[in-house]
Amino acid sequence: MSLKLEKIPNYPGPKGPVVLVIMDGVGIGKYEEGDYVRSANKPNLDHLLATCPHTVLKAHGTAVGMPSDEDMGNSEIGHNAIGCGRVYDQGASLVAKAVASGALYQGATWKKMVANVIDHSSTLHFIGLFSDGNVHSHIDHLKGMLAQAKKEGVARARIHPLLDGRDVPPTSALDYVLPFEQFLADLNADGTVDYAIASGGGRMKVTMDRYEADWRMVELGWKTHVRGEGQLYPSAQAAIEALRAATPGVLDQDLPSFVIGRDGKPLGPIVDHDSVILFNFRGDRAIELTRAFEDADFKPFDRGPRPDVLFAGMMQYDGDANIPKHFLVEPPRITRTIGEYLADAGQRQLAISETQKFGHVTYFFNGNRAEKFNDDLEDYVEIPSDRVPFEERPWMKSAEITDALLVAIASGKYKFIRVNYPNGDMVGHTGIFPAVKIAVEAVDLALGRLMPAIQKAGGILVISADHGNSDDMYEHDKTGAVKIHKATGLPKAKTAHSLNPVPAIIYDPANAAKAKLTDKQGLGISSLAATCLNLLGYKSPEGYDSSLVEIGG
């Protein structure tokens, strides 16, 4: 299929750039209570919604490649969909199908992992997010692999769960740990296997850093999972209960690391000849631990003696960098992204965000590709994120991002610019309500600075989001009533992404495109790619999902 873009007759595109603004985690709430987008002071966003063509887009479930519409979207698959202009089956769907069909167990990597531990009478380890949120992982995939490992004669397995509380209720760890402990007890009942939890911790404290924002998290994970260093507890339940008692009100995602002990020794350190499976299917929070296991020349921290193990990821997290070398399920191969089309057309592009979402507007937006399509035509700008809790600085780097954007817009250098403001998502995950409100307001301030710059440059703003979060901060029961925390009398915080749609706004102050919204209903965020191309003066590529606009209307 050709990469050549066709021009729209009689429309040369705007004088200035088309700027795609992704307000991460800013959706359109279903409930008034707990919707901190609705309650925020956001005069600029309100003005845009009152005066500009706008619509709502689906950003979860099948609209972004997830198995069902009960599955929330996330930033990775959201940026995949936005960048490539159509919907691919994503990690959750691909892995679920591979596990259900048994195809995963027929693959060469699974066979190598099992053969390795049987040949050496060693241990099969599983590290990953202990959750059914279907964002980074799913506990059913882990259970399926453990059951299959027993069938194939693996005598010893150790599990290193990373507690969620982010894509699932914030203090639900025991709702997963206790049934899982019973699942392991059932596997162990006949005495042929020894399967047990060996270590763990909260996902925002241990192991699951991303974009090299804080390697200390990965170093702690290495010490915890690999070396078995840390305070010993008799069980995961005992560890969670003790850590919660030590820090009342702590969320699962922030629980410190723990190690399970037996006879005064760690139950499951990782040693030579073991096999290790990182069962997260999403790449951003898996790459750094993978590098710690695989890189020969590794500098971020002192690993000490690196065990000689066979390591595999659930999927390949970076195909260009070959990370990891071994993986269980093939990731989607995404081609013909908007970035690739524009590079082929000779158009200059800029991608910008702060560290927390930099990979989203580059790697994920480009279809899980780390490299640029054309080094001469593409610029990437990463604003380093602060290493402080997001609720303590909810404005994050929105001002610095906007400073750089204003320079880029005024330069006349770029025809297409894409930017992610992470505030609504990253602060939304904290469950700290006043901070979430400030986060949304910080993004609104940024929009207020961008609008006059776009007007002066003769450009067009396309404003949307990759999924919701800040729009749904309270837990609700089936009737829609807010759940109240018994101890505090306050609403229970919801820290996961929402299932809500997101806005899509076209700000074209010069009316260069004379754009009219399409009458098509039920569109998703994958339609943003064709929309941006149309506004730039190009026809939608074959196979792209429908544009939101008709040019010259």
**Using one digit for the tens of pLDDT, what is the confidence trace for 145-191?**
999 999 999 999 999 999 999 889 999 999 999 999 999 999 999 99
- pLDDT at site 526: 98
CA 133 – CA 223 distance, rounded (Å): 27
The one-letter amino acid code at 322 reads N
- pLDDT at site 72: 83
- pLDDT at site 89: 84
Fold agreement (22-89+333-550, 92-329): no
- pLDDT at site 486: 84
Whether the predicted model's global pTM rises above the 0.85 cut: no
| Pair 349, 415: CB distance under 8 Å | yes
Low pLDDT (below 50) residues in the chain: none
The Cβ of residue 451 has, within 10 Å, a number of other Cβ atoms equal to: 17
Class of domain 92-329: alpha beta
To the question of domain 22-89+333-550 being in CATH 3.40.720.10, the answer is yes
- pLDDT at site 113: 98
- What one-character DSSP code corresponds to residue 167? S
| Pair 447, 26: CB distance under 8 Å | no
ω into 384 cis (within 30 of 0): no
Look up residue 119 and give its two tokens: 């040949």
Catalytic positions are 75
**Segments of 500-544 assigned E as strands:** 502-507, 516-517
CA 442 – CA 394 distance, rounded (Å): 8
Domain residue limits, the chain: 22-89+333-550, 92-329
Nearest to 497 by CA among 1, 25, 8, 9: 25
